Structure 1
Amino acid sequence: MAAPKKGRRAPGAQGKPWRALTLILLVIAGLTGGMFLHGEKTPRLGIDLAGGTSITLEAKNQPGKPDAINQTNMNTAVGIIERRVNGLGVQEAEVQTQGDRHIIVNIPRGTNEKQAREQVGTTAELGFRPVLTYAPTTTEAQPDPSSSPSSSSSAGSKDKNDSDQQGRAVSEGLKAKTADESPSPSASESGKASESPSPDPSESAAAQPEGVSDSLAKKLEALDCTSKAAKAKANERAASAKPGDEVVACDAKEKIKYALGPVAVKGKNVKDAKAVFDQQRAQWIVQMSFDDKGSDQFGDITGKLSAKQQPQNQFAIVLDGEVVSAPSVSERLSSNAEISGSFTQESAEELGNILSYGALPLSFEESDVTTVTAALGSDQLEAGLIAGAIGLALVVIYLVAYYRGLSLIALLSLVVSGILTYTLMTLLGPAIGFALNLPAVCGAIVAIGITADSFIVYFERIRDEIREGRTLRPAVERGWPRARRTILVSDFVSFLAAFVLFIVTVGKVQGFAFTLGLTTLLDVVVVFFFTKPLMTILARTKFFASGHPWSGLDPTRLGAKPPLRRGRRSPDVSTDPKEA
């Protein structure tokens, strides 16, 4: 039998364990540094731990649609509301149906909670209506010339940012206005929109424009938008109007009221909308696109409006009976357009979010708003942490009592796994919106047992090799391949269960599944890059290599067989009689 070549490692050997240990320590240092760099020292908490607001929405019957409230429309509304709220940056919001006509929206306490609540309550269908005329809400209060919400546009015009200055001519295709006019947002297909002035609303009210009936003009004159209660009534009336009706509506932020034509494009035909910062113009814009039907309708209405003068070249974006923006156009637009104006990042993102997720198949109203305190969740979290601490203590006692010196390796591996889990949970909060809730805490506690099981598998493989009469260093290397296969199969089954649970469930159960899957992956990383290299290094020390009684690898205590020794081969003795 040929002798093994010098320098050949046993199967599964790891020649440079310090390299793996250095790598995982660098990863830990990088994650910890990233955590402090982003100012995130604790994981983001879910509503059950941090508190927040719980909103109950009730679906309302719609005229002419007695069967509109059904499971399909309710599920569609849940998806749209969830995307709308999470689109604002409010992560871990829970949106789910309750019964046949109620939707529960749980919003954790956070920076955008108020804004999210406003948009959750804004649940009517979105629509694009042509502006017929507008007027100030009161004769005493005129719109602020520097902050009006609307815009106009032109493709290829330059020096766009100068249009908000008094007396300055604006983009080509538009008529220059006087110094007392207010800017309005613009819509452009080319992506080079600019702010341009719009007429003084007092002048619009003084002379009734062509196409505005006497009855509509009287409604506009009688419309009261001076208080929140008055605006709420006006919005309710406008929202209940049919798409083909002319309506009067209040502006969401400015002291302006509008007379609007029938709905030209419905919000459900908006394919996508998002806020983008235009580097060339150094301003925020909103880009939007339509589906095929919406593109045709939007092209028709903008083609008609572009041939008219202010204010009838504007279209109003109406949500829940309220005008959220009123851009003007100077050319026919199609499937892709943009809205520009005096937007801040927040206002641009808000408008983009409304355009993307504003169209709901049902009308809702808030039936209940409750502030959720974290007291109950804190009590449950405290009880869970106590249970986890007791379980961890029992695991430690078992490891020390049964594995003795090997328990040091297991405990250090548990510490490394805990650090990786904590730092990743903290960084995943701002990165993907992960929030730690009670089920997620339970998943982390369950992971302690999964991680400890991997150590036990490896230790038992090493002890089996020692029982066969091998010394420690060969036992460490020969036991690793079999332990590795067992650990990978076990963790794969656990990860598969977590993955399936995450896919088929919703709400808080997903937090449990996500945490379980994350900690299962970390178990593989810790065992391969920390436990195995550390065991290889310690196997070279006298304490473990000599089989000290407190090392957990005492051959006598394990009942090891004596080492096999090859005896001398006795010479063959011939049984044939010798001849004389």
Structure 2
Amino acid sequence: MPPSQGTAHPLRLLGVYAALVALMFGLIFFVGKSHTPKLGIDLQGGTRVTLTPRTPDGGKPSQDSLKQAQSIIEQRVNGLGVAGSEVVIEGDNLVITVPGSDGAQAKTLATTAKLYVRPVLQDIPAPGGKLPAQQPGAAPGAPGAPNAPAPSVPGATDTAVPPSTPPTTDAPAPSEAPAPSEAPAPNPAPQNRVFPAQAPTTPVPPATPGGNPANPGGLSPQQQTQKEITDAKALRQSTDQATQLAAMQTLDCSKPDPLQGNDDPNLPLVTCSTDGTQIYLLDKSKLDGTEIKDATATLDTRGGGWVVNLEFKGGGSDTWGNLTNTYLNKQLAFALDSRVVSAPQVQSGNQFGGSTQISGNFSGSAAKDLANSLKYGSLPLSFTTSEAETVSATLGMSSLHAGLIAGAIGLIAVLLYCLLYYRMLGFLAGFSLVAAGVAVYALIVLLGRWIGFTLDLAGIAGLIIGIGMTADSFVVFFERIKDEMREGRSFRSAVPRGWARAQRTNLSGKTVSLIASAVLYLLAAGQVKGFAFTLGLTTVLDVIVLYLVTSPLMMLASHSPFWAKPSVNGLGAVAEIARERKAAAGVLVKEA
């Protein structure tokens, strides 16, 4: 076989590997801002947020409820790809710790995510258009956060009523006559009209939607929470028209809401929009979030920015279709955790409507947060969140440097052994190790962007062990070449034959290692998962490097007169053994 034909295939394989590495580093440096791996809590520190449950009766939550909430929040963490996070139960509280310094993400994970679709009976501008001072569970730019306009549900059946437009039904001045609303009211009480601005005839409790009123009776925190929820329900979920009007006139949207996740869906509700600019009187719920089958965040193909697509279950699909027919040309509000996320006007009925779309001025992260919360269900408890606390690195960068130095020393020792034992073939092994290390680094950076993978010390240990195990592939390959040369073959013919025998052994070993990594990842928890993930990743890369780098390099070397010299490849002793065997075999033949 001419040299040109023998070297064409190896060169193509090396070119494929070089192109893959160039593509990965092109994505790193020309797409996105981060050029380094994401580090875990033990290396860079993190942010801790404590979630304190708020039960309607003010009592302690059950451990079953806490465990269910912990499980749902962990699912949301996985849905967002926030690797390296911790969700633990401490007493009666849940503690979320996420890598980095952004506590808003941890607060978003704690959103109760109780969604109800309620018809709008009346809406008025909030006094001063105040933004909420504290919205537990909301992240900047997310629905409910400052500067996040109330989104809408355009879909195929409805369009948005922009927050800046005048309300659909304004509260009239005292001299005006009341104007009836067109929204049908299933309740016997006449709640479907705009009420005149007159003083209520019966005394109502002061509007304290989220404040901390004086506590002259020395109530316990649980009793105080229960009192706040009870007072808010009495005012804002009353069926009395005068009380509803008083609630709308006195509601302060700038304060935290004690009804967050605790409103009764079977009663009317007076509440604010998530941006605090509008106050709504809503009818009882017609559809709730338990009927949601799936929720995804996507870019609107019509150029409207990020949207959240909702897909309802079978029963929910029928209910949604009936709602769009019943409330044609009227508003339906999506109330998430007792606040209105969107209040679109239905423009066309759809009796087959099984899905809809929540849209607005969402950022990509805000849309994904909302979709993630709705997709994995509502929490069984509502929570108040503490201020984000910075958690210092438990091990620190010094430990990272020590681990990297230890790994570098181990790899250098392996290379020195290869150079001493295999001579110049050790350089080929070293080049393959470098090629594997470069690809691993690029993949870790990209996985940090794409799935939120964070690198901790356990993951670094998996990388070092995985790359070190790559040396096993070289040893098996080189020893198979030696076996072929002991049988009297030349270096040129021994390399392809040795490769055919070595790849079966290597593939068997790597398969066992990959299965072990997968089982460990599925059964382990915490940082052990990071170790199993990186070990499995380097095992797969080892096979790729073996086929695209190591084998082509050896094939090229086998066609080179320079590498065929025993003083270069270190195989002179093996060739001498083969000659001695041939000579001994010749003597035996002559004697016979």
**TM-score, length-scaled by structure 1:** 0.75
Shift of 1:85: 5.0
**1:18 and 2:11 equivalent?**
yes
Q: CA deviation at 1:355?
A: 4.0
Conserved in 1, the CA contact under 8 Å of 2:157 and 2:349? no
Deviations 1:372-430 (A, max 9, x none): 23473323212211221221222123222322322111111111111111122222332
Do the aligned partners of residues 99 and 397 (structure 1) sit closer, same or farther apart at CA in structure 2, a change above 3 Å counting?
same
Q: Deviations over 1:266-321 (max 9, x none)?
A: 222222233444444655544322112323443454444337xxxxx333322333
Q: Which residue of 2 aligns with 1:193?
A: 159
Could you tell me which residue of structure 1 aligns to residue 45 of structure 2? 51
1:562 maps to which of 580, 585, 590 = 580
Partner-residue secondary structure (3-state), 1:409:
helix
Equivalent residues of 1:123, 1:365 under 8 A apart: no
Deviation at 1:48, TM superposition (A): 3.1
Give the distance between the partners of 2:313 and 2:62, measured in 1 at CA: 23
Give the distance between the partners of 2:155 and 2:562, measured in 1 at CA: 76
**Offset at 1:494?**
0.6
1:455 — aligned with what? 474
Contact 1:248 1:258 in 2 (8 A): yes
Q: From the CA coordinates, give the structure whose radius of gyration is larger.
A: 1
Is residue 2:483 matched to residue 1:464? yes
Query: How many pairs were matched up?
Result: 505
The more displaced of 74-83 and 489-498 is 74-83
Match of 2:333 in 1: 316
Identify the range of structure 1 (475-484 vs 340-349) with the bigger mean alpha-carbon deviation: 340-349
Matches within 5 A, 1:515-554: 515-548=534-567, 551-554=569-572
Query: Counterpart amino acid of 1:432?
Result: I
CA RMSD of aligned residues (A): 3.8
Inter-partner Cα distance in structure 2 for 1:372 and 1:489? 44
2:109 to 106, 120, 125: 120
Which residue of 427, 431, 439 maps to 2:450? Answer: 431
Tell me if structure 1 keeps the 8 A contact 2:123–2:167.
no
Secondary structure of residue in 2 paired with 1:273: strand
SS in structure 1 of the partner of residue 13 of structure 2: helix
Aligned partner of 1:77 among 69, 82, 96: 69
Tell me, in whole angstroms, the C-alpha distance in 1 between the residues paired with 2:513 and 2:289. Answer: 44
**How far did 1:137 drift?**
3.1
What is the CA–CA distance in structure 2 between the aligned matches of 1:77 and 1:570, rounded to whole Å?
83
| Map of 1:33 onto structure 2 | 26
Rounded to whole Å, the distance in 2 between the matches of 1:240 and 1:378 is 44
Q: Distance in 2 between matches of 1:278 and 1:367?
A: 35
Deviates more, 1:510-519 or 1:424-433: 424-433
C-alpha distance in 1 between matches for 2:458 and 2:292 = 37
SS of the residue 2:112 aligns to: coil
Mapped contact 1:52–1:109 kept (Cα < 8 A) = yes
2:248 counterpart residue number: 220
1:445 is matched with: 464
- Residue 484 (structure 1) shift: 1.4
Deviation at 1:325, TM superposition (A): 2.4
Rounded to whole Å, the distance in 1 between the matches of 2:575 and 2:452 is 52
Q: Distance in 2 between matches of 1:392 and 1:569?
A: 47
Asked whether the equivalents of residues 85 and 116 of structure 1 are also in contact (C-alpha less than 8 Å), the reply is no
Does the CA contact (< 8 Å) of 1:129 and 1:261 recur in 2?
Answer: yes
2:422 corresponds to which residue?
A: 403
Q: Which residue number in structure 1 is paired with residue 202 of structure 2?
A: none
Q: Mind listing any 5+ residue stretches in structure 2 that lack a counterpart?
A: 132-148, 181-189, 192-239
Correspondence 1:3-14 to 2 at 5 A: none
- Of 374, 380, 383, the residue aligned with 1:361 is 380
Match of 2:287 in 1: 265
1:564 match: secondary structure: helix
Contact 1:136–1:201, Cα closer than 8 Å, also in 2: no
CA contact (8 A) 2:158 2:346 kept: no
- With normalisation by structure 2, the TM-score equals 0.74
Corresponding position: 1:249 with 2:271:
yes
**In structure 1, distance between residues paired with 2:38 and 2:50:** 24
Q: Which amino acid aligns with 1:123?
A: T
In 2, Cα distance between equivalents of 1:186 and 1:18: 56
TM-aligned CA distance change 1:236 to 1:282, over 3 Å: closer
Give the deviation of 1:450 after TM superposition: 1.0
Shift of 1:20: 2.5
Query: Deviations along 1:205-241, whole A, 9 cap, x unmatched?
Result: 865865162222223333222x3xxx21xx1135433
Q: Which residue of 1 aligns with 2:198?
A: none
Listed as ranges, the matches of 1:99-110 within 5 Å are 101-109=92-100
Matches of 1:204 and 1:275, distance apart in 2: 39
1:326 aligned residue: 343
SS in 2 for 1:236: coil
The DSSP-based 3-state class of the residue aligned with 1:123 is coil
1:203 and 2:192 aligned: no
Q: Which runs of 5+ in 1 are unaligned?
A: 1-6, 145-182, 308-312, 572-580
Which whole-Å CA distance do the structure 1 matches of 2:580 and 2:8 have between them? 28
| CA displacement 1:134-169 (0-9 Å, x = unmatched) | 33332xx3699xxxxxxxxxxxxxxxxxxxxxxxxx
Q: In the superposition, relative to structure 1, how do residues 432 and 251 fare at CA in structure 2: closer, same or farther (>3 Å)? A: same
Deviations 1:447-503 (A, max 9, x none): 132101111111122223333343322322332222111111111111111122222
- The answer to whether the aligner puts 1:381 opposite 2:388 as a matched pair is no
Secondary structure of 1:562 counterpart: helix
> How much identity, in percent, do the aligned residues show?
38
Could you say which residue in structure 2 is the equivalent of 1:148? none
Distance change >3 Å, CA 350–CA 305, structure 1 → 2: farther
Q: Distance in 2 between matches of 1:15 and 1:186?
A: 60
Q: What secondary structure does 1:245 align onto?
A: coil
Q: In 1, are the aligned partners of 2:261 and 2:382 still within 8 Å (CA)?
A: no
- Structure 1 residues 107, 31: CA separation in 2 closer, same or farther (over 3 Å shift)? same
Contact 2:296/2:310 (8 A) holds in 1: yes
Return the offset for 1:259. Answer: 2.6
Asked if 1 retains the 8 angstrom alpha-carbon contact of 2:273 and 2:341, the reply is: yes
Given that 2:154 and 2:344 are in contact with CA atoms closer than 8 Å, whether structure 1 keeps it comes out as: no
Which residue type is aligned with residue 98 of structure 2? I
Contact 2:129 2:276 in 1 (8 A): no
One-letter code aligned to 1:28: V
The equivalences for 1:166-181 within 5 A come to none
Whole-angstrom distance in 2 between the partners of 1:325 and 1:410: 61
Aligned-partner residue type, residue 112 of structure 2: T
Q: What is the aligned counterpart of 2:317 among 295, 305, 309?
A: 295
1:238–1:518 Cα change, 3 Å: closer
